[in-house]
Homo-oligomer: A and B are copies of this chain.
Amino acid sequence: MLIVMHHSATDEQLKSVTAAVEAMGLIAEPIPGSLRTAIGVLGNQGYVDDTSIRELPGVREVIHVSKPYKLVSRDFHPVSSVVDAGGVKFGDGHPPVLIAGPCTVESEEQMIAAARLVKKNGAQMLRGGAFKPRTGPHTFQGLGVEGLKLLRQAGDAEGLPVITEVMRIEQLETICRYADVLQVGARNMQNFDLLKEVGRSGHPVLLKRGMSSTIEEFLSAAEYIVAEGNSRVILCERGIRTFEQATRNTLDLSIVPLVRELSHLPIVVDPSHATGRRNLVGPMAKAAIVVGAHGIMIEVHPDPDRALCDGAQSLTPDGFGKLAVELKRLQSFLETL
């Protein structure tokens, strides 16, 4: 931590800041500059709460060097983690995993068709929402437990592990019974109690980046899960909010190589929610593979024009089949690069 003093700070103010640092059991090292003095703080084991420092007289700014996350950081865990989720492996040394399925579980027929489609095209995991977060209360909110059963049944029929979103702690036990992987959605990325319980469950988790969160906040959210002893966390970039109105969100692909540098956790990309437009899903999925994503999560619907939710961003069966082939060929090519 670095404490930058005001240009006009007095010696007395400098002394009282030094004293406050030392009262925290830390070491204060003054660094006099031509215009102002800064005070380096040494001896801390991690992020320091600067509350008692920040507004002392004469202090202009407090600059943090340590990050609020630690367990998920590559500094503390240099070797890349491989997460086993329902028998499927996410991480370095494994080809990118293709997760696919409809936005929402709608019916047995739909899920059976979806699972067949997913399996036939070589995807390794089936997705489908049973509990749906919707901006307003007057929209379809998902089939609930019935949806979970249909998802499980469809996955079992094709031998596919399944992933579904958990929105509240009380659902956790039930969802863990039916799903191989828990998804925590963007709106819940800072629902810290949910993160803790998901951590305690020990179940593999796919954590989506919050709609306007920074990488630091994203990794700090993952830290909540890992701090409970659950290191089976898969990060997921799904687009961030920007001023652009032409796409649903803006997919931030540069986060992939950056997270691979800062953290040992695997990261996958969801181009369907990010773009919200069917014709952008393919190009962005391929780009995600190229930047090093450990997996791709795609919405596909046996009949997207009749989907109850997000049909506009769901691929058709044909479109999905074509993309799955292209992703596989691209991946093979990249291995030769």
Q: Determine if A244 is an interface residue (Cβ-Cβ < 8 Å).
A: yes
- B51 near A220: Cβ-Cβ < 8 Å: no
Contacts of A51 in B (CB 8 A): 307-312
C-alpha gap A223/B309 in the complex (Å): 20
Query: Are A138 and B70 interface neighbours, CB within 8 A?
Result: yes
- Tell whether, in the assembled complex, residue A139 and residue B65 are in contact, meaning their CB atoms are under 8 Å apart: no
Q: Which of A244, A262, A337 has the most CB of B within 10 A?
A: A244
Closest approach, in angstroms, between the C-beta of A34 and any C-beta of chain B? Answer: 6
Stretch of A91-99, A107-115, A147-155, A325-333 at the chain-chain interface: A325-333
Is there a chain B Cβ closer than 8 Å to A134's Cβ? yes
Which of chain B's residues have a CB closer than 8 A to the CB of A247? Answer: 254, 258
Asked if A42 CB lies within 8 Å of chain B CBs, one says yes
Shortest 9 CB-CB distances between A and B: which pairs?
Answer: A68-B136, A212-B212, A287-B287, A54-B312, A168-B193, A51-B311, A187-B190, A7-B75, A31-B40
Identify the closest chain B residue to A213 (Cβ): B243
A223–B51 CA distance with the chains assembled, in angstroms? 32
The docked-state distance in angstroms from the alpha carbon of A34 to that of B134 is: 24
What are 15 A-B contacts defined by CB distance under 8 Å?
A2-B40, A8-B78, A29-B31, A33-B43, A35-B45, A49-B139, A49-B140, A51-B312, A138-B227, A167-B191, A214-B246, A240-B250, A251-B252, A251-B253, A283-B292
Q: Does A159 contact B (CB under 8 A)?
A: no
Nearest neighbor of A167 in chain B, beta-carbon distance: B193
Copies in the complex: 4
Stretch at the interface among A79-87, A120-128, A200-208, A273-281: A273-281
Size of A's binding interface in residues, CB under 8 A: 116
Q: Complex Cα distance A136/B47, Å?
A: 9
The minimal Cβ–Cβ distance linking A206 to chain B, given in whole angstroms, is 18
Known contacts A135-B220, A168-B194, A261-B279; is-contact A44 B33 (Cβ 8 Å): yes
CA distance A261 to B246 in the complex (A): 12
Complex interface bits, A54-86 against B, C-beta within 8 A gives 1, otherwise 0: 111000010101101110000110100000000
**Contacting residues, chain B, for A307 (C-beta < 8 A):** 51-52
Report B-chain residues with C-beta under 8 Å of the C-beta of A278.
55
Q: Are A258 and B246 closer than 8 Å at their CB atoms?
A: yes
A307 to B52, CA, bound (A): 7
Contact A284 B291 (CB under 8 A): yes
Give, as a whole number of angstroms, the nearest-CB distance from A316 to chain B: 10
Establish whether residues A250 and B254, one from each chain, have CB atoms under 8 Å apart when the complex forms.
yes
